[in-house]
Amino acid sequence: MNFKSRIWVFTLVLFLLPIMNASPAIAAAVPQYGGVYRTVMAEPRSLDPHMETYAQTSAVTNNTNNRLIRWNKDMSGVELDLAESYRQIDPLTFEFKLHKGVKFHNLPPVNGRELTSADVKYSIERVSGMYGQKGNFKHKYYFEGKLASIQTPDKYTVVFKLKEPYAPFINYLASDWSVIVPKELVDRDGDLKKSAIGTGPFILEEYIKGSHITMTKNNQYFKKGLPYLDKIQIKIMSDPASIMAAFLAGNLDSFGPYFFQVPVVKKEAPKVNITREKAFHMWVLRTQPCTTTYEALEPPFKDRRVRQALGLAIDKKRLLKLAWGDAGTVQIGSIPNFPPYSLPESDQLEYNPEKAKKLLAEAGYPNGFKTTLLTWNAEYMTKPAQVIQEMLGKVGIEIELKLLEMAQYFNTVYRFQYPLSLHVMTAGYDPDDWIDHYFGPHDHTTTYKWCNPKVWDLNEKQRKILDVKQRAKVIQEIQRELMKDGTHTFLYTQDSYSAYWPYVHPDEYFHPNSSLMGEKIWLEKH
């Protein structure tokens, strides 16, 4: 069974479970037009899809903008979006034909003009960091240095020529972060942090920080008959209890409950539909980054044996149960829930506190040591941090927890100055995304840095392998090398829950950055 078949089986089952459990009347229902869909999320850092990494941004830009192609619902492959067709002419050349007559939103400075191939060229070049300070473009590694040229032979044709075979290319074009934007808007505002104008099914009507985001139906949308909704209103909230209360009071049409909220919702509103899916957000324990060379690392984490001891001291299964009620999947390597690239169970790091103590003694710490663990002050981070503190304490590593506000945490760790952190990795459009983004050469990485040239060389190798089986072997070798380094202990992914009132007909996509795709959501009159 090839890669697409495997991931199709895996993710399609997850996607179909709520549908198979639905009543025949709901399954056969005909979409209705109208209504305001009310949902909730935390505050976006900004609205610039080429600079951001948060799903809060894509919750807006996936509705205001389009991509050439995008991942389909179950991530078994890609589907067409702005492109009406595409073909691979040779190993280095891809040709895309655009839908004709696609219009940008009728707002200044774009004023409803037609989208052309020049917009695609500009947008992908902008993702690559060609316009502005490169460090601001968090996904520049998708295309930077990979493209020989982007040609626009006519208004509706885009031709990408690669410098060499590049296995992730199509997957990265389908990323939520590769949306097409108008150059005039960037020229006017300098960036897209506060603006979102595109060709998408909804137009950004209002964004009041700390309050709400309202998007209104685009009546000129190029996909006939879509969207169904009149509006999407996103309430900006972050307190889990307040969000659940708002949902149960009927002030929200959907929300994402935590596992411990699910029984309450079922009890208080038994007719609510709740779905559960595996997810791509992975909790990891990170050691001090290596920003220049191994020699520059500071004790005690300069010693590989110390880093390895951390992983041996953590009982991942018990951690998941105590910290998150078993509502997730224990992970092995750096690529979660992504067959055939994920590691098999036989590679799982053993739980062996006695061996951890032995390694610490060999490294010169027979009585352990004291250190600080950083994370942010949300329950889904503080609970596992406390369990990790207890587990590491049993092998002599005395942990002081430093709980920061979320923004303060990220500002701190992105300066790469900390001993240990409990972090959440997320990527998933291509296995390369889980490696280069975090462990690649230092001019590629943005959220973590590590000094292992062997990993860098192997990653360059896997990108050029177009055969899925052969590529998977190299990617698994990379993950084993990272596990030997002990730079991260890959802990678990948390399952994702969604709750909908019965009148809501969602359009669920597997990837967490595609969590709000409003194009086909509709509401039954009730």
Q: Residue 513 has what pLDDT? A: 85
More confident residue, 445 or 495: 495
pLDDT at 142 over 80: yes
CB atoms inside a 10 Å sphere around CB 333: 24
Instruction: Concatenate the DSSP letters of all residues of 127-155 into one string.
Output: HTT-SS-GGG-TTGGGTTTTEEEEEEEET
Rounded to an integer, the average pLDDT of 1-16 is 37
Kindly state the tokens that stand for 417.
């100055």
Kindly report, residue by residue over 19-32, the tens digit of the pLDDT: 334 433 344 489 99
Other beta carbons within 10 Å of 411: 11
CATH class assigned to 3-277+496-523:
alpha beta
- Ranking 24-38, 163-177, 343-357 by mean pLDDT, the lowest is 24-38
Average pLDDT over residues 502-524: 93
More confident residue, 53 or 33: 33
Q: Provide the residue count of the chain.
A: 526
pLDDT of residue 7: 38
Is 407 buried (19+), middle (13-18) or exposed (0-12) by CB count in 10 A?
exposed
Place of tokens 């001019």: 443
Q: What is the mean pLDDT of residues 336-364?
A: 95
In CATH terms, 281-494 corresponds, of 3.40.50.300, 3.40.50.720, 3.10.105.10, 1.25.40.10, to: 3.10.105.10
pLDDT in tens, 91-123: 999 999 999 999 999 999 999 999 999 999 999
Q: How far apart are CA 431 and CA 72, in angstroms?
A: 17
pLDDT band, residue 183 (cuts 50/70/90) = very high
pTM of the model: 0.86
Domain ranges of the chain: 3-277+496-523, 281-494
Does the structure show a pLDDT above 80 at 184?
Answer: yes
Average pLDDT for 329-339 = 91
**Model pLDDT, residue 279:** 82
- pLDDT per residue as tens digits for the range 204-213: 999 999 999 9
Mean pLDDT value of segment 436-451: 87
Supply the DSSP symbol for 243: H
Write the pLDDT tens digit of every residue in 380-395: 999 999 999 999 999 9
Closest CA to 288 of 488, 490, 491: 488
Comparison of pLDDT for 363 and 75, the residue scoring more:
363
Per-residue model confidence (pLDDT) at position 23:
38
User: Residue 20 has what pLDDT?
Assistant: 39
> Which pLDDT score is estimated for 187?
97
Region of residue 75 (phi > 0: left; psi between -120 and 50: alpha; otherwise: beta)? left
Task: Please tell me the distance from the alpha carbon of residue 215 to that of residue 64, in angstroms, as a whole number.
Answer: 8
Span 421-427, average pLDDT? 90
Two tokens at 212? 């709400």
The pLDDT value given to residue 10: 36
CA 453, CA 441: separation in Å to the nearest integer? 8
In DSSP notation, 356-404 reads: HHHHHHHTT-TT-EEEEEEEESSHHHHHHHHHHHHHHHTTTEEEEEEEE
pLDDT band at 11 (very low <50, low <70, confident <90, very high): very low
Examine the pLDDT at 238 and tell me if it is beyond 50: yes
Tell me what pLDDT residue 449 has. 92
Q: What is the pLDDT of residue 296?
A: 87
Q: What is the pLDDT of residue 427?
A: 73
Give the C-alpha separation, 136 to 119, whole Å.
Answer: 20
Looking at residue 106, its pLDDT comes to 98
pLDDT band with cut points at 50, 70 and 90 for residue 278: confident
Lowest-confidence range among 24-38, 196-210, 235-249, 440-454?
Answer: 24-38
**Look-up of token digits 């008959």:** 225
Predicted local confidence at residue 344, as pLDDT: 95
Q: What average pLDDT does the chain have?
A: 92
Q: Residue range 300-313: average pLDDT?
A: 97
Q: What is the pLDDT of residue 3?
A: 38
Which residues are CB-contacts of 436 (< 8 A; sequence separation ≥ 6)? 141, 444, 445, 459
Torsion of Cα atoms, 378 then 384 then 389 then 394, to 10°: 170
Average pLDDT (163-175) is 96
